[in-house]
């Protein structure tokens, strides 16, 4: 026997897809803002005439 079609199920699925899309969009926006902030800081450093503007990463 098949289950009767629940009209609210499609609405729930669309709502879940919309929430997931917004979550991915927010995460992408935060990543993009951080990347742009780092690049702006590096450009400000280079514009001031310094040559040691590269990020120094320590070895583990």
| Residue 6, φ and ψ in degrees, nearest 5 | -95, 115
Q: Pick the more confident residue, 4 or 7.
A: 7
Tokens linked to 3 = 């289950």
- pTM beyond 0.75, yes or no: no
Q: Return the H-helix or E-strand segment holding 32.
A: helix 7-47
- pLDDT for res 60: 63
Using 50, 70 and 90 to split pLDDT, how confident is the model at 59? low
- pLDDT tens for each residue of 10-46: 888 999 999 999 999 999 999 999 999 999 998 998 8
């Amino acid at each position: 026997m098949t289950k009767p079609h629940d009209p609210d199920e499609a609405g729930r699925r669309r709502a879940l897809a919309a929430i997931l899309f917004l979550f991915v969009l927010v995460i992408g926006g935060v990543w993009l803002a951080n990347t742009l902030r780092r690049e702006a800081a590096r450009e400000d450093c280079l514009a001031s005439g310094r040559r040691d503007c590269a990020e120094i990463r320590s070895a583990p």
